[in-house]
Structures are given as C-alpha cells and as structure tokens.
Amino acid sequence: MPKMKTTLTALAVSAVAMAATSGAAVAREQIKIVGSSTVFPFATTVAERFGKNTSFKTPVVESTGSGGGLKLFCAGVGVEHPDITNASRRIKASEVAKCAKNGITDIVEVKIGYDGIVLANSRKSDPYKLTLQDVFLALAKDVPDGDGKTMANPYKTWRDVNAELPDVKIEVLGPPPTSGTRDAFVELAMEGGCKKFEWIKAMKKADKKAYKSLCHTIREDGAFIEAGENDNLIVKKLNANPGALGIFGFSFLDQNSDSVQGSTIDGEAPEFEKIADGSYPVSRSLFFYVKKAHIGTVPGIEDFLAEFANEDTWGEDGYLTDKGLIPMGDEERAEWEAKVKSLTNLSM
C-alpha cells in the first residue's frame, strides 16, 4: 500500500504540473513585442490599429533597443518570453546561434521598409553640412595623425575637425551599444568616414580586427553622450541645448521637424526620397522577427503579421508612411508579403 500511495501521489503531482503547464500555454492572450526604439513607433501604430479593428487584444510593445530585444527574444520558447522582436538592423549570426541554443530554431524574418539615421540639431541654430569624414573625425576614439599613424582624438570643436564648420563644442547625443541605431551608425557613418583615408581602407585586408577597432570605436571623453533608447528624450535635449547634435532615426526627425533639423551628409539631406533611393549615405533596413513556436499558442500572431504586411499599412500610401517609414519598392514588398504569408524561415 505505501508503494501504491507513493505512486498515486507522484501521478497527482505530475497531473498538477501538466495542468499548470497547459494553463501557462494559454496564460497570455496578448502578443508581446520588444526591441528597436526606431521600429517602436511603427509597431505601436500597427498594434493599436490591430487591437481596435480585430477581436484580439492590443499587443504590448516595449522599446528595449535592437540588441536588448534580440537578447530577450532568444532567451527561450514559452509565454514568459517575447513573441516578436523589432530590429533596426538584421539579426546577427551570433544571435541566431544563441536562439538555436535555447531551442528557437524556426524564426520568421520580416523586412518592413527603410530608415535613415540623422544627425540633427535644434532649429534655434544653423543646420550643419557634414561629410562622413567629418563625422568620423569628430566621434572616433582615435584618429589619423597625418603620418600614417593614429592618436587619441584631440578635436574639441567642429572647426577643429573642418575649418568650414562652426566653432562649436562637439557634443553628440546618441544611443547606447544595445541599440540597432548605434550599430548602423557605426557601420554606415563612422566606418564610411574612416575608410575615406586610403591607408586605413587598405588596413581592412591586412588586419581586419585593427581596422574595425579603429573605425567602430567611439570616443569616451564626453564629446559623445549616451542618451538611452528614448529618441524623444534626445529631441527634448536638443531643444534645451542648441549647440548639440543628436543621432536618431528619420521618423523622429519627421515627427519633430518644427523644432529640429537634419544635417546634410556628403551633400545629401535626410529626406524621404533620398533615403528611399539610397542616395542619402546613412540609410538602413528595418526588420522584425517572429518566434514560429508561439504561433498558435499566443492568439493573433498570424493576423498581426497580415495587418503589418498589407499595402494599407506599409505601402507607398500606407498609414506608416505618415509616421516616417520609407516603404520598399513594389516588387520587394510583394516578395516580403509572400514570405510573411508562407511563414518562411529565416535563412542567413
């Protein structure tokens, strides 16, 4: 009898555990989205419409930065983990590997459009006309010394960098390392200016690690100020400090054009058409990633995808263009819409 009692007790505990697990699987009725602060306003807009126009609850959207979002997303499968993560850069191979290590092997990648990274300042000051080389020299930790070597960045003002720029202290408010905007800015703007120096460009083949370290490392002496993931806060700080510049996505410039203005980069202004056709040099793609294992467990994910991948949403005249999203061309949109409908797995 004691043995039978023990067996029955074990079965009872097992049944309770199974019930708890089953309950947990349907414990969350709202889609949970994390990730990029740049994609955040687009995802929030779609989520609000989705909640209003369907029988599903409005998804919860949290701004954590692209890197922070992918870290949360890749932590595991189950309703305690996010269903979707937004990213203002493509997922890295190392992040895919981390996901796989934690049992996340089926991921749907969705490209939603394009964005430009701007260097903006208050309209209380004159706009800046910068080159990629100016940006690198102003913000790099180490810069060329003129003899094929490098030195710690000595530049204090924009005029120190370029005699044609104003005699204003270099103060740039930007995102932290967890941000996709930071990743893209470093790759497109910093490296873009770094490789204008031929001897540094040649270094890429000879010593890629040294090249990347030189071109991607931002100075830490106060000229660059980490301002968190909240781009709206950067806009407010620019209005309070007309001498400073801020780094954020085009959508925030577009929404705050009454108070801030974008700098030209290599003669190109951060404008809708110039970002769309690629002539603005600091342009990037925007994405979100979906955990396939959660489809069918958390209600509404496929319907949310259908709302996002819709001409009325991300098309040329879609409501996201009013928020500053630069749409993909017709063929590219059709290609990604087909991937969304078929829930095509990510391929690197």
Span 89-130, pLDDT tens digits? 999 999 999 999 999 999 999 999 999 999 999 999 999 999
Report pLDDT digits (tens) over 236-253: 999 999 999 999 989 889
What pLDDT is recorded for position 11? 37
- Determine whether domain 116-284 maps to CATH 3.20.20.70: no
pLDDT value at 24 more than 80: no
Res 12: pLDDT? 38
Supply the pLDDT for residue 25: 42
Give phi and psi for 260, each to the nearest 5.
Answer: -130, 160
Report the alpha-carbon distance of residue 204 to residue 226 in Å, rounded.
Answer: 28
Residue with tokens 């930071």: 182
Return mean pLDDT, the chain: 90
Block residue for tokens 């769309």: 276
Taking 50 as the threshold, does the pLDDT of residue 158 lie above it?
Answer: yes
pLDDT given at position 280: 95
Class in CATH terms, 28-115+285-342: alpha beta
Amino acid at 169: K
pTM: 0.76
Instruction: State mean pLDDT over 298-316.
Output: 96
> Which pLDDT does position 9 carry in this prediction?
39
Q: Tokens 């190109």 identify what position?
A: 268
Question: Domain residue spans in the chain?
Answer: 28-115+285-342, 116-284
Q: Which amino acid is at 153?
A: N
Q: Judge whether 28-115+285-342 and 116-284 match in fold.
A: yes
Could you tell me what percentage of the chain is helix, strand and coil, using 3-state DSSP and rounding each to the nearest 5? 45, 20, 35
Average pLDDT over residues 55-73: 96
Residue 33 has pLDDT above 90, yes or no: yes
Average pLDDT, stretch 155-166?
97
